[in-house]
């Protein structure tokens, strides 16, 4: 039964998907990866996995877009155009190969494709606050877009200190802390308390029992977003973890879709998408 104290968990356990509990996934990737075999790397296989859990929308940046400068974002754009109701993209910020003029033009030309940027500072070894990133932060802040940021506890590139340098300066960008400053859970909560535009995202958090319980206990559930790293981690694994924590059914709903719905409401395309796929979930 997975969690005998949760009515929502028991229903999800039984059916594997619930029309009144859609899932909005804020952290995904796509296509093959140098360091691992990912059997569900194609958009079509990812959609099958999403459908099995009623995950209605995934915001992603492909591995190619973050690891292959020669390829860039063209394939991400093509995927979103092929499946506009199911995928939206983060434009990669490839810190060592930046062309802000070109990247921001792509953003302007594709308002129905991109929800914001993906920063991968740890991998590029360029700090978030490096001045080369300024045009991206300024653009996202001005437009109120998302910045999905790979964050890791203790990192000199995207740890708590670097994040705060950005958050002190930009109050309008939605700073989504991918992996929630992994391992520095208390610090993540304290930072989120200080900056209302910071959201904690759960990819690679949910395999650590207790971090989510701590977030909800000390921060509440309204600043937490669900994410899976799909096609890395199974969507049902993530949902099972959320529903195993010592949190209420209302907290679970906040995390799985309500918080995301509020944030995505800033995009004109979302209302129609939610009408068609959200099943009026409250």
Partner 1 sequence: MEFFDCNVSYGLDYASSPLYPIHTVDQVQAEMERAGVKKAVVWRIESANAGPQVGNALLAQDLKKYDNLYGVWAILPSHTHEIPDPADMLKEMKKNRIIGWRLCPKEAKFMAKPFVLRDWLELAVLHRIPLFIYTADGISLEGVAELLQAYRDLTVILTDDNTWPNDRNLRPFVAEFPNVYLDLSYCITAGGIESFVKEYGASRLLFGSRFPYSYFGANMMMIKHADISEEDKAAIAGGNMKRIIEVMDL
Cβ 41 to partner 1 shortest distance, Å: 9
Cβ 158 to partner 1 shortest distance, Å: 20
Cβ 143 to partner 1 shortest distance, Å: 31
Cβ 254 to partner 1 shortest distance, Å: 18
Select 3 or 254, whichever has its Cβ closest to partner 1.
3
Q: How far apart are CA 112 and CA 168, in angstroms?
A: 29
Looking only at the bridges linking them, the beta strands covering 114-119 and 87-93 are parallel
Selection from 102, 32, 56 nearest residue 275 by Cα = 56
Select 94 or 191, whichever has its Cβ closest to partner 1.
191
Contact predicate 239/49, CB 8 Å = no
Q: How far apart are CA 204 and CA 143, in angstroms?
A: 29
Select 52 or 275, whichever has its Cβ closest to partner 1.
52
Residue 139 structure tokens: 């653009």
* Cα angle, residue 238 at apex, residues 50 and 57 outer, rounded to 5°: 30
Residue 160 structure tokens: 């708590």
Which residues sit opposite 198 in a β-bridge? 175
Cβ 13 to partner 1 shortest distance, Å: 7
* Residue 34 neighbours by CB distance under 10 Å: 7
Q: Which residues contact 262 (CB under 8 A, 6 or more apart)?
A: none
Cβ 19 to partner 1 shortest distance, Å: 16
Contact predicate 68/262, CB 8 Å = no
Cβ 44 to partner 1 shortest distance, Å: 11
- Residues near partner 1 (CB under 8 A) are 1-5, 9, 12-13, 16, 35-40, 45-46, 48-49, 52-53, 185, 206-211, 213-214, 228, 230-241, 243-245
Selection from 51, 57, 49 nearest residue 226 by Cα = 57
Select 48 or 96, whichever has its Cβ closest to partner 1.
48
Q: How far apart are CA 189 and CA 88, in angstroms?
A: 27
Select 140 or 245, whichever has its Cβ closest to partner 1.
245
Select 164 or 213, whichever has its Cβ closest to partner 1.
213
Select 133 or 179, whichever has its Cβ closest to partner 1.
179
């Amino acid at each position: 039964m997975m969690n005998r104290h949760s009515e929502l968990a028991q229903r999800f356990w039984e059916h594997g998907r619930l029309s009144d509990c859609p899932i909005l996934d804020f952290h995904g990737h796509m296509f093959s990866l140098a360091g691992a075999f990912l059997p569900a790397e194609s958009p079509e296989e990812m959609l099958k996995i999403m459908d099995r859990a009623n995950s209605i929308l995934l915001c992603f940046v492909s591995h190619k877009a973050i690891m292959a400068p020669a390829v860039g974002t063209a394939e991400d754009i093509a995927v979103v155009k092929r499946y506009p109701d199911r995928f939206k993209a983060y434009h990669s910020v490839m810190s060592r190969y930046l062309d802000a003029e070109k990247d921001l033009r792509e953003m302007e030309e594709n308002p129905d494709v991109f929800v914001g940027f993906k920063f991968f500072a740890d991998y590029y070894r360029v700090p978030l606050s490096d001045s080369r990133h300024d045009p991206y932060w300024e653009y996202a802040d001005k437009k109120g877009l998302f910045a999905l940021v790979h964050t890791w506890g203790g990192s000199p590139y995207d740890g708590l200190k670097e994040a705060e340098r950005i958050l002190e300066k930009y109050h309008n960008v939605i700073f989504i802390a991918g992996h929630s400053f992994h391992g520095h859970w208390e610090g993540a909560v304290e930072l989120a308390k200080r900056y209302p535009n910071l959201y904690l995202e759960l990819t690679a958090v949910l395999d650590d029992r207790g971090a989510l319980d701590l977030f909800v206990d000390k921060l509440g559930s309204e600043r937490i977003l669900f994410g899976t790293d799909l096609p890395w981690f199974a969507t049902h694994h993530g949902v099972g973890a959320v529903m195993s924590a010592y949190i209420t059914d209302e907290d679970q709903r906040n995390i799985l879709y309500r918080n995301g719905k509020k944030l995505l409401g800033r995009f004109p395309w979302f209302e129609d998408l939610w009408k068609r796929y959200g099943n009026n979930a409250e």
